[in-house]
């Protein structure tokens, strides 16, 4: 229902003859770097991670600027304190033997930065770890991507859906993160031929059931997989983590979702900063980005291995480079990655110049993940 925002492109079109668009980088004189906190404490075993970084100037390089050298700790309402240690720059990890979130406890994050001369203290508001129900089911539905015109090849993809419910009617605000893993193969029989690639969710998945009579989520579309990636070609797996949010945190993610889609047009929602639950003790007006999330977590994984019609072959261009070679192979070892022949007696051909076509480790890893079903 964000229809009003479609008006902007329409306007541009209407004014095809008169309007003009130029790239523009506003002079904001904002050179200050804002601290970004990405923290998640769960009740799962294993280390919990807090990532600290600094915001990047608009339009600048996207290389992250981790914030190292801070001391990070979490306290709970039993006055226990757990310190986190920095593993790589800006990433602070708890000692899994020592610390695991417990449902019902209230956690507070403490950060002491060590930026050159003046150290700054940041605290989060106390956050209670709420219980989370199990994911009832995770399933996928195969779908035709387009109403094919007659004679067009069928194109298929699928959507992964989720069902869950809370019999105690207390969760109401849900968020999901997923991790996808899929198997793919390059079109040449070379050693690094089959790889596994993993990607995290890059969209915000949230749902609010408070307007329903029952705390139940049905057929929530977690992920749509189109035929234009190679996720469905060989084998695909998705792990969904379900979190229960406080209403505050839910509204944080909801606004983030509304504002991150498109920004700054005339009919856009007037943008605003979304307040974090972490604040600077030494300067309460200082801006803080990110959120300190505390939630129990339940997970579910499914595998998809089925025939889908009309999948796009990402490697179709690889064969185009095919060319016969003479006695001297040009650029051998520099750009030529595979040579081969059609038969034992045939001359050698250059099959591809592209490393990505010749070595699957460009995109993934040859080692299947632990959970990958063996024998497949």
Partner 1 sequence: MKFKIPLLILFLSFWVNLSAQEKYKISFNYKDISFIDFITKVESTLPVKFFYLEDWVKDLRLSDYPDCTTLECVLDNLFKGTTLYYYIDEFGNVVLTKNYTVKISNISSDKNNKFLPPSEYSGGSGENQQLSGSSSVEIGNPAEKNNPGKVTISGYITNKDTKEAVSGVTVFVKKLSAGTISNEYGYFTLTLPRGNHLVQFSFIGMREKSVNLSLNGTGEMNVAMTSVLIPLKETVVSAQKSVTLQRFEVGAEKINISSFKLSPTSMGESDIIKDVLLIPGVQSVGEGSAGFNVRGGSADQNLILLYGAPIYNSSHFFGFFSAVNSDIIKDVTLYKGGIPSRYGGRISSVLDIGSKEGNRNEFAGSAGISPITAHVSVEGPIIKDTLTYILTARTTYSNWIFGMIKNPEIHNSRASFYDLNGRVTYNFNKNNKIDFSAYRSHDDFRFNSDTVYSYNNTIYALNWRHFFTSRFFSSLSINNSSYNYDISSKGIPIEAFVLSHKVNSTGYKADFNWFLGRNEINFGLDLTKYVVRPGSYLPNSDSSLVIPKRIETERAWEGALYFDDKFLLTDFLSLNLGMRMSAYYSFGPQTVLQYNPELSKNKSSVTDTLNFKSGAITSRYGGPEFRVSLNFRISDQSSFKVNYNRTRQYVHLLSNSTSIAPTDTWKLCDYYLKPQIGDQVALGFYEMLFRNSFEASGEIYYKEIRNMLDFKGGTDLIMDENIEKDVVNVKGRAYGLELVIKKTEGKIRYSIGYTYSRTFIKSTGYFSDEIINSGKWFPANFDRPNDLVITFNYLFSRRLSFSSDYTYSTGRPITYPIATYDISNKLLVTYSDRNEYRIPNYSRLDFSLRISGNLRSNRIAHPNWTFSVYNILGRENVYSIYFKRSADIIQGYKLSIFGRAIPSVTFSFDF
Alpha-carbon gap, residue 122 to 112, rounded angstroms: 6
132: nearest Cα among 77, 172, 96: 172
Task: Name residues contacting partner 1, limited to 144-203 (CB under 8 A).
Answer: 147, 172-173, 177, 199-203
Total binding residues toward partner 1, as defined by CB under 8 A: 81
Q: Binding to partner 1 by residue 213, rule CB under 8 A? A: no
Applying CB under 8 A, does 263 fall inside the site for partner 1? yes
Q: Residues of 129-165 as b/e, b for ≥16 C-beta within 10 angstroms?
A: bbebbebeebebeeeebeeeeeeeeebbbbbbbbebb
Task: Find tokens 């779908």 and name the residue.
Answer: 143
At closest approach, how far in Å is the CB of 1 from partner 1? 5
- Nearer Cβ to partner 1 (16/307): 16
In the Cβ-directed half-sphere of 316, how many Cα atoms lie within 13 Å? 7
Residue 130 vs 350, nearer CB to partner 1: 130
**Can residue 103 be called a binding residue for partner 1 (CB under 8 A)?**
no
Q: How far apart are CA 84 and CA 49, in angstroms?
A: 8
Provide Rg for the chain, Cα atoms: 25
CB of 203 to partner 1, least distance (A): 7
Sites for partner 1 among residues 292-351 (CB under 8 A): none
Beta-carbon contacts of residue 143 (< 8 Å; ≥ 6 apart) = 156, 157, 158, 159
Q: Which range touches partner 1 (CB under 8 A), out of 159-167, 282-290, 322-330, 352-360?
A: 282-290
Which residue number, 204 or 321, has a Cβ lying nearer to partner 1?
A: 204
How far is the C-alpha of 99 from the C-alpha of 73, rounded, in Å?
11
Q: Using CB under 8 A, pick the residue from 273, 317, 341, 367 that binds partner 1.
A: 273
Per-residue DSSP letters for 141-200? EEEESS-PPTTPPP-EEEEEEEEEE-TTS---EEEEEEEEEEEEE-SS--SS-EEEEEEE
Residues 220-249 that bind partner 1 (CB under 8 A): 247
Q: How far is the CB of 351 from partner 1 (least distance, A)?
A: 30
Asked whether position 85 contacts partner 1 by CB under 8 A, the answer is no
Q: Which helix (H) or strand (E) is 358 found in, with range?
A: helix 355-358
Q: Which is nearer to partner 1, 64 or 194 (CB)?
A: 64
Q: Which of 44, 47, 64, 340 binds partner 1 (CB under 8 A)?
A: 64
Helix H or strand E encompassing 137: strand 135-144
Binding positions for partner 1, 17-46, rule CB under 8 A: 18-26, 28, 30, 33-34, 36, 38
Please, what is the minimum distance in Å from the beta carbon of residue 349 to partner 1?
35
Single out the residue of 102, 219, 221, 267 in contact with partner 1 (rule: CB under 8 A).
267
* Closest CB to partner 1 among residues 274, 297: 274
């Amino acid at each position: 229902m964000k229809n009003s925002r479609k008006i902007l492109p329409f306007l541009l079109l209407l004014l095809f003859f008169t309007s003009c668009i130029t790239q523009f980088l506003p002079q904001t004189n904002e050179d200050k770097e804002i601290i970004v906190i990405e923290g998640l404490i769960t009740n799962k075993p294993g280390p919990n991670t807090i990532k600290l970084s600094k915001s990047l100037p608009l339009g600048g390089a996207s290389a992250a600027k981790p914030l190292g050298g801070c001391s990070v700790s979490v306290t709970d309402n039993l006055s226990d304190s757990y310190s986190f240690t920095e593993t790589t720059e800006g990433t602070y990890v708890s000692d899994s033997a020592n610390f695991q979130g417990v449902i019902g406890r209230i956690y507070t994050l403490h950060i002491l930065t060590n930026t050159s001369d003046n150290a700054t203290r940041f605290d989060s508001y106390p956050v209670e770890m709420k219980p989370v129900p199990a994911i009832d089911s995770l399933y996928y539905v195969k779908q035709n991507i387009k109403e094919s015109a007659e004679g067009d090849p069928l194109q298929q993809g699928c959507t992964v859906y989720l069902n869950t419910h809370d019999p105690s009617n207390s969760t109401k605000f849900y968020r999901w993160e997923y991790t996808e893993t899929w198997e793919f193969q390059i079109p040449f029989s070379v050693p690094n031929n089959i790889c596994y690639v993993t990607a995290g969710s890059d969209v915000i998945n949230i749902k609010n059931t408070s307007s329903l009579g029952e705390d139940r989520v049905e057929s929530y579309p977690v992920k749509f997989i189109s035929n234009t990636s190679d996720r469905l070609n060989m084998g695909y797996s998705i792990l969904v983590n379900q979190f229960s949010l406080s209403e505050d945190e839910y509204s944080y993610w909801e606004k983030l979702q509304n504002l991150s889609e498109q920004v700054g047009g005339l009919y856009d929602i007037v943008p605003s900063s979304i307040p974090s639950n972490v604040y600077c003790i030494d300067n309460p007006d200082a801006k803080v980005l990110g959120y300190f999330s505390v939630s129990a977590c339940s997970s579910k994984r499914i595998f998809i291995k089925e025939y889908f019609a009309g999948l796009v072959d990402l490697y179709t261009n690889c064969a185009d480079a095919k060319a016969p070679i003479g006695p001297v192979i040009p650029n051998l070892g520099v750009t030529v990655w595979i040579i081969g022949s059609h038969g034992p007696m045939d001359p050698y051909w250059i099959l591809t110049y592209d490393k990505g076509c010749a070595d699957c480790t460009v995109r993934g890893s040859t080692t299947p993940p632990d959970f990958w079903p063996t024998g497949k």
